Amino acid sequence: MKLYLSFNCNELRLPVYYHRDVQGLIYNMLSESLGEFFHNRGYVNGSRTYKLFSFSRLEGDATFHKKEKTLTFHNEISLIISSIVPEFINELANNIILSQNLTIRNQHIEVSNVKMVHEPINSSKILVKTRSPITVYTTYERRNGKSFTHYFQPQDEAFKHLIEDGIFRKYEAFTNQEVPQHERFHIQPINVSKRDKIITKYKSTIINAWNGTYEIEAKPTYLEFALSASLGSKTSQGFGLITLVP
């Protein structure tokens, strides 16, 4: 399920790496109990915890200030929030509509449109595009004890394997149902170029991620789940949100 939001703003100035600001806006719109659950706990599968929500990049007419590494959005911005958890989307929608004091970095924004969209899937193959880039990685420990993170590209077999593994782990965490061993979730890059590589930052961590268009083949149940739960890692930090290509 997705929430499509539009906001009026007046010269909204944000850092280029604004993930935490949008994430903070989302958490502030949740009740204390639901916010605490998603922020501190989430859904568990073994040793891993999943928040099962994501959000898109901000879209709107903006000016980039290279020296200050900031963006100024001039009049209107749009945002997509996605989650497989109905309570999360419903509460966000209600609270955003009712709120009279929405702020990002102490700057006022005013909601102008709210649309909730459910995307039922009836086929075993879909074409999707990223609305926030997908990040997939593995962390290794070097001989000196320091960790090293390797980010995979969409053409890598490990990228495809980890996307599949991640979706099935998230599905099991949310449903408490084991995914049969024979099931597959196959993702194939269709239109991905070097220009789709995104290097960004969350807190002090540099993150490599990829935009683009992808074909995904799986059972409709898993495709529908992926459209809401998003793909890859760090989804609750604003990565991996996808939408259908008509």
Domain boundaries, the chain: 2-117, 125-244
Q: Which residues contact 45 (CB under 8 A, 6 or more apart)?
A: 169, 170, 172, 173
Say yes or no to pLDDT of 96 above 90.
yes
Contact between residue 9 and residue 109 where contact means Cβ atoms under 8 Å apart: yes
pLDDT in tens, 154-171: 999 999 999 999 999 999
Contact between residue 16 and residue 64 where contact means Cβ atoms under 8 Å apart: yes
- Nearest-angstrom CA–CA distance, 89 and 83: 7
> By percentage, how much of the chain surpasses pLDDT 70?
100
What pLDDT was estimated at residue 62? 96
Q: What is the mean pLDDT of residues 186-207?
A: 96
Say if domain 2-117 classifies as CATH 3.40.720.10: no
What pLDDT was estimated at residue 185? 98
**DSSP state at residue 237:** G
pLDDT in tens, 37-84: 999 999 999 999 999 999 999 999 999 999 999 999 999 999 999 999
What pLDDT was estimated at residue 86? 96
List, by residue number, the catalytic residues: 27, 39
What pLDDT was estimated at residue 105? 94
Q: What is the mean pLDDT of residues 21-27?
A: 96
Say yes or no to pLDDT of 142 above 90.
no
Say if domain 125-244 classifies as CATH 3.30.70.1900: yes
Q: What angle do CA 11, 39, 69 make, to 5 degrees?
A: 30
What pLDDT was estimated at residue 109? 95
Domains 2-117 and 125-244 share a fold: yes
Say yes or no to pLDDT of 143 above 80.
no
Q: What is the mean pLDDT of residues 85-101?
A: 93
Read off the pLDDT band of 144 (50, 70, 90).
confident
- Nearest-angstrom CA–CA distance, 43 and 9: 34
What pLDDT was estimated at residue 101? 83
Q: What angle do CA 234, 173, 239 make, to 5 degrees?
A: 15
